[in-house]
Structure 1
Amino acid sequence: MIPKSYLIFEDESFLDSTVAKMNALRKSGQFCDVRLQVCGHELMAHRAVLACCSPYLFEIFNSDIESNGVSHVTFEDLNPEAVEILLNYAYTAQLRADKELVKEVYSAAKRLKMERVKQICGDYLLSKMDSQSAISFRNFASVMGDGRVLSEIDAYIQEHLLEVSEQEDFLKLPRLKLEVILEDNLSLPSNGKLYSKVLKWVQRCLWENGELLERLMEEVQMLYYSADHKLLDGTLIIEDQGLFGVGAEDHVQFVQKNPPRESGKTQRQLSSSSSGATSPSASSTPKSCRSEFKYIASEKTTNNTYLCLAVLDGLLCVIFLHSRSSPQTSPSATPCLLKSLSFEAQPEELGEQPLTAMHYARSGLGTAALHGRLIAAGGYNREECLRTVECYNPKDDQWTFTAPMRTPRARFQMAVLMGQLYVMGGSNGHSDELSCGETYDPRTDTWAQVPELRTNRCNAGVCSLNNTLFVVGGSDPCGQKGLKNCDSFDPVTMIWKNCAPLNIRRHQAAVCELEGFMYVIGGAESWNCLNTVERYNPQNDTWALISPMNVARRGAGVAVYDGKLFVVGGFDGSHALRCVEVYDPARNEWRMLGSMTMARSNAGVAVLGDIICAVGGFDGNNFLNTLEVYYPETDEWSDCTKAFCSSA
């Protein structure tokens, strides 16, 4: 009970008035003590307000408690409009976003760990989902790792699979085609049990036999359904009986989330022995605990044809299964499948065209993503080093020229720092390596000089980290020997400083920032290609070696997407490479991904939205001006326009 001597008064209008005033102060920049740099846009706010609604920013501010001035937080991969919407929400508790921006708001909320906003955005997307958008929504939810939304979408797809299968997104999913031979008087089990057997067969191919999923999809796979209800590989043929071999025991049972038994030779040992040397972290964790295999939905479309949507090793796929009776002779030839379903349409039927190429072929160019566009600068071809700069707009699939650099240069890298582009060093093709650098201001479309490097340097890595520009490694003046040098540049004071040197000399390394660390990947020591990787901690100015790549390479491109490093192409000492691999810092392990459509060394790589772009480079015979894009949700590269431009 409250004593009568207490004064109690509740002003119902005070809170709304205070919130409105605080938001007005934010928008006018008054009393603000934090600046958010979002893709070149500066957003002002109050640290205490943001710390209350974003655990991610709270952690940053809490680790920066010694700072008495204005905190700076940079996001190069978020939509400025989406972040502004979240700031309004933080001050007013009102979330207002155009439907076209909801995914961007969700992505920003995930980064800032604003779980309530994630839930609201997820519910909104679910409410707008139909058969036309189900696959794209599922891909988005998968990339975001939202199990709740994924389960809702999968339930919808189960009920509407045939309608979903007629949509454009579904038609472009990777396809696994199976021809199943039935022993006499047998019929396939019901769909759920059938695809449980199919998933186990795929797992067995990948983990026991060392197959690649993309190889399985290259042609029709022959399977045999035996009298003891086992699905067996059709390549085991007893020709004198005209039947598939039933001697292959189906004794390896892959159970999700359960590691294999340790007695005898476990499946983990089988997997590691078939794939060669692996890192300790990779070999100590069963792959069944790391990869997703999931049956989503299926339909029996004719008496002997089945359609299924499933997740195979984390990849959303269509499984097209055709069954027929046991043949009279050995069915060793690849059968011709009935093209009865619309997802057999060819790319030209889907209206796809090759992505527009650059005006100039370029290798050793600098690339970066800026304001939703891809910038490609300099580089060399068979004739000269270039100073021209081209800008690609994915919305209209067009390349346009911007202001050229002040100096022709190649064999350099480009970084985005505080909304501007920076290039340092390189070679002009006529003299020794360059020490000069320059910066591009997109607001004025002009380049300006920056203070020179302390040493002439070519093939160095360039990276922005904590509002500082870093230049790492590179070639000596003769171009034959790698350097350990690491220098940092403060764009405010315009001063260069020395940092701790690399552990290993390297030039033509791929360099990037991820979660507050700088990574230097591969490269070459003299001309010996490296697979080693070093990580720089700016807090204590130290370098540490981490898990090496699967493939030694120099002149590779690197991109950061969804908290992982994607390393693309390069040169292994003998050949230009098509192969791509990804690094997961949470597990300190590398794994191979789908390969590019063509080999590219010294190409440019950058991320536009949720798509990775690779442009230019050298394929071993020709200098390239072509562009291709990678879709992480499907692990596929494409040089066609349709899906890329529609997603931009």
Structure 2
Amino acid sequence: MTPNGCLIFEDESFLDSTVAKMNALRKSGQFCDVRLLVCGHEMMAHKAVLACCSPYLFELFNADSELQVGISLVKFDDLNPDAVEVLLNFAYTAQFVLLKADKDLVQDVYTAAKKLKLERVKQICGEYLLTKMDSQSAISYRNFASSMADARLLCKVDSYIQNHLQEISEQDDFLKLPRLKLEVMLEDNLNLPGNGKLYSKVISWVQRSLWKNGEPLEQLMEEVQTLYYSADHKLHDGSLLEGQSEVCSYEDDHIQFVQKKPPRERDEMSTGSVSSSSCQFNKHEWKYIASEKTSNNSYLCLAILRGVLCVISLHGRTSPHSSPSTTPCTLKIPNFEAQPEEVPEKLLKPMHYDRSGLGTAELDGKLIAAGGYNREECLRTVECYDPKNDCWTFIAPMRTPRARFQMAVLMGELYVMGGSNGHSDELSCGEMYSSKADEWIQVPELRTNRCNAGVCTLKNKLFVVGGSDPCGQKGLKNCDSFDPVTKLWMSCGPLNIRRHQAAVCELNGYVYVIGGAESWNCLNSVERYNPENNTWSLVAHMNVARRGAGVAVFEGKLVVVGGFDGSHALRCVEVYDPAKNEWRMLGSMTSARSNAGLAVLNGVLCAVGGFDGNEFLNTMEVYDSEKNEWSPFLGSLS
């Protein structure tokens, strides 16, 4: 008996006993109200238990009224019954035991967990598979991770392949992969470029060849293809050696798509536009994974070509009369560290979580990435990227899960305001991160709940601009400022145009609000706030209307990347020169990124995370202003 007269009793054994009894009832079929028919095998269960455990089944039971009464029947024709039984035990007992944890069964449990949206089980299975991976199984593991569209697992498998390609290339699975053989003619005294740039050029050549000829990839692999690498660092079709006209030149090292119509495509393409067939072409994955130097001027590469895992064998030679080389065997190169030009370029380490609608900022020479969506949930976690070690580590998580917010540094501390927690549309709460204490501290709430608002700092105050209305359908004109000394919010002059998902940034004593959407119509208009007269005025429009873009100050100008134009996630980038009041286009990113983060890290512009139109991203890429190129490779950040 407690002092206030309440009786409190806890039985620690009750929960374990009840769980065991519920599972026993399931196995005996008592009080069950759902039948799972898995490839002809019948399993009984209780809908309430399955709905609590599996978001997939919860949605299924809610969507179909017939499944809400009586004994329901749910069929699965593509799952392993043994794997489903493992997951049923997990649903009732919060544990599963695989006495014979062979690779195939673990993969089947992973597949079933993905279907039922049991994310934690899926993650545990993926981590177990990684512990069992070796050079013999790496290719099959990659194929499995690709079929499951698991970006995190793929990233870790690719990292293993990059470090063990020489051993992997000797295995049967590798030798059975489709192979593209290339002979590259070199002008005298010319060497092939570094591996990453070389294969970006090769992949771009494959893309253009498929578009030009309208032929399947398999036809390119039927015989050795001859290419020509000229002194101006362009890759040409081998027909140039015979005095024919140039097929295509490569101004950029990064991959891009040409807008030409293959002869076999039905859809017509107008000049300067891309047809629906080209959009379909773009959906296929193109990716450089790893490469090894095999002998002098010979390389072996593993890459994704139009969604197919392939091997590229490449040999460079100066004499056009020598015969093509056979596929070389990989060799260990002595003193490899002493030959930096031959070392395969390493991809920048990805974040631990896919994140879209995240907050990013530079703090103490490191890149901070906080919150965001990863398709399954809204995140509290915060990651910190150290460019010196090329690694992501976790710092203290936020107090509240949130996405669709922006983050700013004010007086050496991080501030986040508003956003969405994944359950309600808007938040009013805010937090401040102290790096010294490694903790988040609550700050006074916004006067209105806001999602998709822009945040920046100006004259030691925090500005929150625009955002979504309480229904999430219209943009706001509201602009508020927060004084960290007085802890008070003050209203500022309203915007001229309602905006949500706008990019907001400070430059030269002004606050800029860029693009966004009014209702759901994407905007290319830009406004500038003058704190002296508390008013917003319109400046030059962007070239592309976009919402959910990233923005940062780089070399004294505003750079805006990616976003969404109402139909597609964008790769394109543009820069605003305040002295000329004009926008111009820059080199496009290697990935389309909507709701990505953008920050300047040690003088380098970094884009991280976002949504590419199909997948949530955990990758990062950086901008080289001298080359006007974006790159996902580590060397570009050093």
Q: Pick 1 or 2: higher relative contact order, CA cutoff 8 A, min separation 6.
A: 1
